[in-house]
Amino acid sequence: MTTHQTPVQGHCDPAFKAVRDRFEESFARGREVGAAVTVYAGDRLVVDLWGGVADHRTGRAWLPDTPCVAFSCSKAVTATAALLLAERGAYDVTGPVTDWWPEFGAHGKEGVTAEHLLSHQAGLPAFAGPVSAQEAADPAAMAALLAGQAPEWTPGEAHGYHALTFGWLAGEIVRRHAGRSVGEFVRDEFAGELDLWLGAPPEVIERAARLTARRSAAPQDPGPRADDPRPVRKDGAVLARLAQAAADPAGLLNRATNNPDPGKGGYNNPVVLAGGWPAAGMVTTASALAGFYRDLVAGRVLKHDTLRDALRRRVHGPDRVMVEDTSFGLGYMRPAASFFTPPAGVETAFGHSGASGATGLGDLEAGIAMAYIPNLMGGALSADLRAYRLVEAVYASLG
């Protein structure tokens, strides 16, 4: 395959040529519309690639500074904000939430800790009633709704992916202890000059990439492959459970992932992008998200002791919402079926994936940080194959 067959531009260190090859292959096979990938080895920028189309309707090109919504990659940034406040002594991660949020104790939730909130154990994966995109822009109102709900399971006795509610639960830690929204705190405390927003301003929304799930925008992914390394894609029983969960509009999976309703245009809706949804609304570039992980790995955001404790697996195994296995520390995904990594990263990688296939990843031992952001929605809720192939190539490039 030759470079001129694909629309990829940017810089790639020769030692990381495998990353460029995989990125170009993804375009050549019709698995991308527009996308970007950035990798740091320590503080050295070794990959910074982008290509394709930011808006399939107009043909607007993806540029090096094109931002895009990154869905649940947001959670790692929100969790970092909460952890930074804990590091500063604002609250005790293992102490009861009611110490600083008295209303939260309703309906048997008085024993819930911040650790439960940050590791998807609180039993509040979905709102009890419908929430609009406009309503979701009010973090205090969202937190109040969750405080008044009964949990779906006894908190601390199981875990289930809090796809959207995580943001307002973890975000309330920030709002109550810093007096600011998550987006304001992140911008003030550690985002700095990074092009990363939880609550994007109008000019950022205007130039953001437009998400598409339209198969007319790119040829359909050919589906399961014999060399697909993701175990859940080969397990018929798990696939059957996933299909059943996805088909049940009243089930936890759909209730957790589809409410609040983003409204017309889905996650292209400016109301969502401006609303700063702290679990799924982050608008960023691949270079900025990789820069966040670079600084995190380097100890410039959290102390290494804080981060290492946050990476300790609090839960691992069957997920009440996602059906497949998930694993979480405090806000960060750890390798599992839902955040699949090559063997070299199984014990050391951390980060978060998003519904589009977007992925942010760091590794303290390997000293790497990376991010991949596409605008063509992937075909799976987690463990996107495009992202996995890039992660695999990064680790292979380390020798």
Convert 219-250 into a string of H (helix), E (strand) and C (coil).
CCCCCCCCCCCCHHHHCHHHHHHHHHHHHCCC
| Model pLDDT, residue 225 | 53
Could you tell me the residue ranges of all domains in the chain?
A: 67-76+186-359
d(CA 87, CA 350): 19
Prediction pTM value: 0.94
Q: Which helix (H) or strand (E) covers residue 160, if one does?
A: none
Positions in the chain short of pLDDT 70: 1-6, 214-239, 379-383
Query: Domain 67-76+186-359, what architecture?
Result: 3-Layer(aba) Sandwich (3.40)
Four-CA torsion 390, 392, 393, 399, nearest 10 degrees: 150
Question: What span, in angstroms and rounded, lies between the C-alpha atoms of 326 and 383?
Answer: 11
Strands (E), the chain: 8-12, 34-41, 44-55, 60-61, 68-69, 196-197, 283-284, 315-318, 325-328, 349-353, 359-363, 368-374
Q: Look at residue 222 in the predicted model and tell me its pLDDT.
A: 43
Beta-carbon contacts of residue 229 (< 8 Å; ≥ 6 apart): 340, 342, 388, 392
- What is the structure's pLDDT at 245? 77
Query: What pLDDT sits at residue 220?
Result: 42
Q: What angle do CA 257, 168, 94 make, to 5 degrees?
A: 115
Query: How many residues belong to the chain?
Result: 399
Q: How many whole angstroms separate alpha carbon 32 and alpha carbon 376?
A: 6
CA 62 to chain centre: 21
